[in-house]
Amino acid sequence: MKNFMSRSIALFTAMLMSVSAASINIFADDEDDYPEDTMIDEIFDDDMSDTDENSGETSNSDDNTSNSDENVDAIEEQEGVIGSTERTRVTTPANRIRVTSDLKPTLNLGSTYQIKYKLYPARSDDYVTYRSINPSVAMVDDDGLVSVVGIGSAVIKIKTSKGLTASVKINVPDPYAQGGSNKKVTKISPISDNITLRQGSSVTLSYILYPLGAYDEVSFRSEDTSIATVDSNGVITGVSDGITDIVLSTSSGKKAACSVSVYSEYFKGIDVSKWQGDINWKKVSASGIDFAMIRSSFGSTDVDIKLKQNVKGCEKYDIPYGFYHYTYARSVSEAKKEARFFLKTIRKYSPEYPVVLDIEESFYNSMSRKEVTNIITAFMEELENAGYFAMIYSGAKFLTDNTYIEQLTAYDIWVACWGDEERLISNYDYHYGMWQYSSTGKVKGIDGEVDLNYAFKDYPQRIHSNGLNNL
């Protein structure tokens, strides 16, 4: 039995993950199944039945300030909204999803498989996200392409923007079960090289053995158990603030490591622009929001028409705020020009959160990583030289595919990856200080949906102590 389990380590991991209470926050099928500390779209909407919210009262004019003093600002002609290319904004959500490809395919090691589905009604412009329950067996990308990397079974969860789900169960037979030659392990690689984990929460560390189909017993060890522990099944638990390595070792001596960052404190935030309309900041403050990121500008000439109104609301109700600028720069010179315009736009304010470059336009996909990285660096240098705490915002895929992110370690990252912590870990392998985890949040005081974020650092303290941002 022991030999069978060692030969089927990926299958063992899949079985463990299906029953492990420590990992249930990763696999819950719907929002009601998530424990308290799991991030869901309406985490801030704790009482939508509040009588004051539904009384039809007219908002205080101080809360929804008139735009009359903003007529001098440029009229917007471009989208320029944060997260606009992370996922398409949904106007007709799906009310049903049906998988049209095989629901239980049996696949071979090293093969790929395309998941196909249909959304109803047919006019729906909804999108779906994919997540593998056991990436040690089968990984899935944002387009639903499954890559088989291990022996055993894995479930691929498919989810619409409103939470409708479907599943595909992948089965990968052991090619050596009938007496074939066993492959010797030449390498072990964790699915993610970097994991950020909340104190007290857990995640299972998945890995791949190379060549595909090779097997061996794998052990785990934490370099500092005061920061994070790991059990014999690879379940990592955050203990206290700090960074440590989890070392993976095969019985044949192959090793790899995964860096784990544990945090105990986090702050709940939103990001807003003209698209949120007139915001009742009094209600936003009462809802438990810790900070707001406000769009100030985009391009080299355009100012968000709600900038002054949103800043006034935040300042009146003591909501710390930061700014972001949506860029269209195609060169270093254009990046510097936009950065100077951004600085001019916010020069009268003293934000307690970072000032952010939002870079995500699709045309960057046709540019080289060097060009995009140079544009980002030029923009950041302008902000820092002016005495601001500079940050970069973009989607996980954009940062991974379009930049030399290892050259951007001097700057904090605000990463967009909509879903839960498991999806973030699966899609993003680098540092970050803020995470935009939803575009469909509900917050009192805001009509419609709003982006939700977590900040994992006390930015006001850092900014004040360093005398940045005009503070």
Query: Could you list the active site residues?
Result: 271, 360
Distance CA(433)–CA(460), nearest Å, equals 13
Q: Residue 460, preceding bond cis, omega within 30 degrees?
A: no
Q: At 19, which helix (H) or strand (E)?
A: helix 9-19
H helices present in 222-349, as ranges: 281-286, 307-316, 332-346
Which residues have CB under 8 Å from 265's CB, separation 6+?
Answer: 241, 456, 458
- 414 φ/ψ sector (left φ>0, alpha ψ -120 to 50, else beta): beta
Burial zone of 444 (CB within 10 Å; 0-12 exposed, 13-18 middle, 19+ buried): buried
Residue type, 279: I
Q: At 427, which helix (H) or strand (E)?
A: helix 421-427
Contact 224, 244 (CB under 8 A): yes
In the numeric block, which tokens belong to residue 306?
């709600």
In the numeric block, which tokens belong to residue 51?
């009588």
Phi, psi of 210 (to 5 degrees): -115, 150
Burial zone of 169 (CB within 10 Å; 0-12 exposed, 13-18 middle, 19+ buried): middle
Burial zone of 399 (CB within 10 Å; 0-12 exposed, 13-18 middle, 19+ buried): buried
Handedness of CA 333, 338, 341, 343 (dihedral sign): negative
Nearest to 153 by CA among 132, 175, 130: 132
